[in-house]
Amino acid sequence: MLLAILFGDSSDVEIIDEYSKSEALLEAKPFPKFDPDKLDWSKFSGTPLSVGVATMDLINEKGRDEWLYSIGVDRVAVKAWKARHSSHFERH
């Protein structure tokens, strides 16, 4: 999701749609036996659409590109990358 935002070639709808594909692709696993002394990672499997939407909202709230660059993503490298693929961006 962050990559798609960074490369700036996709709409929110496309990003969220792609993000939520795992939900259908992952096979349902049996519930593990409850252990009060452990975190149940199965609670975090799958990729509900609602989480994709909420995560995108959270990132948009921070200001997509602005947030990514503020945390240390290399703006110059991303710009150079986009320049190398400029023909792709010009076509679309």
Partner 1 sequence: MFTFGSFFLLNLKLKSCPNFRRALPQTSAPLPLPVYRSCSLDNLSVNDSVALSDFLEQGGIVVDLRNADERSPPPQQTPQQTNRILHRPLLYPDRLWPKIESQLTIREKLICGFPGPLLSPRRWNSMLYRALEKGGLMLLYKTILETSEVEIAAVLNTIVAAESGVRAGELPEGQGSHRPGFNAAGNIVRGFIRR
Rounded Cα distance, 57 and 45, in Å: 21
Told to check if 83 binds partner 1 by CB under 8 A, we report no
Q: Which structure tokens are listed for 35?
A: 């252990």
15 is an interface residue for partner 1 by CB under 8 A: yes
d(CA 3, CA 77): 14
| Interface with partner 1 (CB under 8 A), residue from 30, 31, 33, 41 | 41
- What tokens appear for 34 in the block? 């409850």
33 versus 38: smaller Cβ distance to partner 1: 38
49 and 16 Cβ atoms separated by less than 8 Å: yes
Q: What's the rounded Cα separation, in Å, for the pair 28 and 38?
A: 21
Interaction of residue 45 with partner 1, rule CB under 8 A: yes
Q: Where does this chain bind partner 1 (CB under 8 A)?
A: 1-4, 6-7, 9-10, 14-15, 17-18, 21-22, 25-27, 36-41, 43-48, 50-51, 54-55, 58-59, 68, 71-74, 77-78, 80-81, 84-85, 88, 91-92
